[in-house]
Amino acid sequence: MSLPIIQSVSVIILTEHHLSGTFRPKEVIDSGWNIRAVAGVPKRRGKQHQHRGGVAILYRDASNLKVEQHRITDGANGSSHQAVSWTIKSPLVARPIHITGVYVSPSEGEIEEFFHTLTQQNHDPVDDIHIYAGDFNAHVADETETNITMQERHTIPPRVGDCHKRHMPLPPAADPIINTRISCPQRGRLLLRMLNTTSFLILNGRFEGVDDPIPYTLQCQDEGTINDYNLIAKQHFSNIKTCYVIPRPSRSLRSKSGPPTDHNPIVLHLSLLAKSAAQSTANSPIAQELPPRTQFHSSKLKDPAVREKFLHALEDQADKAEQAIQTLKNGL
Q: What is the rounded average pLDDT for all residues in the chain?
A: 83
60-72 confidence digits (pLDDT tens): 999 999 999 999 9
The pTM for the full model equals 0.78
3-class DSSP state of 211: coil
CA distance 281 to 276: 9
Least confident of 54-58, 190-194, 211-215, 249-253: 249-253
Taking alpha carbons only, the member of 120, 156, 164 closest to residue 140 is 164
Average pLDDT of span 179-194: 89
3-class DSSP state of 233: strand
More confident residue, 282 or 40: 40
Percentage above 70 pLDDT, the chain:
81
CA distance 168 to 147: 19
Q: Is the pLDDT of residue 97 over 90?
A: yes
Task: Give the number of other CB atoms < 10 A from CB of residue 67.
Answer: 14
Taking alpha carbons only, the member of 149, 295, 145, 314 closest to residue 231 is 145
User: What pLDDT score does 329 carry?
Assistant: 66
CA distance 56 to 11: 11
Average pLDDT of span 169-185: 80
Residue 83 belongs to what H/E stretch?
A: strand 82-89
Task: Name the pLDDT band for 295 (thresholds 50, 70, 90).
Answer: low
More confident residue, 220 or 237: 237
Domain layout of the chain by residue ranges: 4-281, 298-330
Q: Which CATH class is domain 4-281?
A: alpha beta
CA 118 remoteness from chain centre: 8
User: What pLDDT score does 208 carry?
Assistant: 92
Pick the most confident of 15-24, 31-40, 89-98.
89-98
CA distance 9 to 5: 7
